[in-house]
Amino acid sequence: MNKIDWDNLGFEINPADKMFIAHYREGRWDDGKIVDYSTIPIYPSAVVINYGQGLFEGMKAYRTEDGRIAMFRPRDNAKRLNNGCRRLCMPELAEDFFLESVKALLIENKEFIPPCGKGDLYIRPILFGSGQMLGVNPADEYTFIIFMSPVGPYFKSGFSGINLEIRDDYHRAPQFGTGGVKAIGNYAASLYPRRVVKENEYDEVIYLDAKTCTYIEEVGSANFFMLKNGVISTPMLGGSILPGITRDSVLTVAQKRFDLIPQERDIRYVEVFSADEVFCTGTAAVLTPILTVSYRGKRHTIGDGKPGGVTRRLYDELKGIQLGARPDDFGWFYEVK
């Protein structure tokens, strides 16, 4: 293992030594195996390369303060991957096979889990059509790989926030498209809009619904939340929004631990300008405060333009549950031994 500088980790690929690889051939998955992280051979005619038949997942392993290894709701990632498999005509994985594979690899790579407070080990399962096909058809062979990479704390300079731009000239996902699953093509389509807003010094895009351009969908690869008068709102899932596990966790914690009123509903973008607090959620960032939201060149400051107090408390609560430092009556903390 190469020496890792634990104090200077970013969100970059820094592959752990081992990866897991399994193949689906002749109608069944093999047991898979743990091998050295390396390149993989692939046919030029593989369906994933030609037609984008592929999915990914994103999860993390945490080192707790007392040195244990933990994950957060990993079975939900298995379920979400299988939902995606159905949408993309790929063979599903048994949930236990998924979990056992992640755990076995995690044990092999455990020296790549950063010490508590220095970051986490990001876990990236991918599943794709590796069989050959000329016409647009599902592949007859599939590959499932898990690789891992230590990543730094999302907030290098403390709990700072981001500045976003609402765009009505690019959409992430249409109704009845593939926005509700982690299909790789969704992210290829988001590269250009992201480049456009970055050129204007915004951190990310806020997408509107593709049908009416009226309602908030989500933020690049994170779910959107707003707080107003004790009500915590997030766009309701309708197939175009990715059902984030962090999103679900925040809705639950907000209601059960903070007495906030959770609402999954249509949120008009104009409502956001007068919100008390706005933030986005995902495995990488947990909760990221949104300080300003711009639309058609006009910048709207949320609250006093600083990370919100409720956002901060929700972040601490969720992070505490993930690290086993706060009570978890939801069954989310998942220790790996």
Q: List residues binding ligand PLP (CB under 6 A).
A: 58, 182, 218, 221-223, 242, 244-247, 281-283
CB of 223 to ligand PLP, least distance (A): 5
Q: Is 182 a catalytic residue?
A: yes
Task: Pick between residue 223 and residue 294 the one whose CB is nearest to ligand PLP.
Answer: 223
For ligand PLP, the closer of residues 104 and 189 by Cβ is 189
Of the pair 53, 221, the CB lying nearest ligand PLP is at: 221
DSSP 112: G
- Count of other CB atoms within 10 angstroms of residue 305: 10
Rounded Cα distance between 275 and 91, Å, is: 43
What distance in Å separates the CA atoms of residue 225 and residue 285, rounded to the nearest whole number?
A: 14
CB 262 within 8 A of CB 250: no
Question: Catalytic pick from 3, 18, 156, 182?
Answer: 182
Buried b (16+ CB within 10 A) or exposed e, 222-242: bbbbbbeeeebbbbebeebbb
Q: C-beta of 283: minimal distance to ligand PLP in Å?
A: 3
**CB within 8 Å of 131: residues ≥ 6 apart:** 43, 46, 47, 139, 140, 141, 142
Q: Which CB atom, from 76 or from 277, has the smaller least distance to ligand PLP? A: 76
Report, in Å, the least distance between residue 135 CB and ligand PLP: 29
Extract the tokens encoding 94: 């048994």
How near is the Cβ of 34 to ligand PLP at its closest, in Å?
25
Closer CB to ligand PLP, residue 24 or residue 215? 215
- The CA distances from residue 95 to 79, 99, 101, 112, 147, in Å, are 7, 6, 10, 25, 18
CB of 133 to ligand PLP, least distance (A): 26
Cβ–Cβ < 8 Å for 156, 219: no
Please list the active-site residues: 182
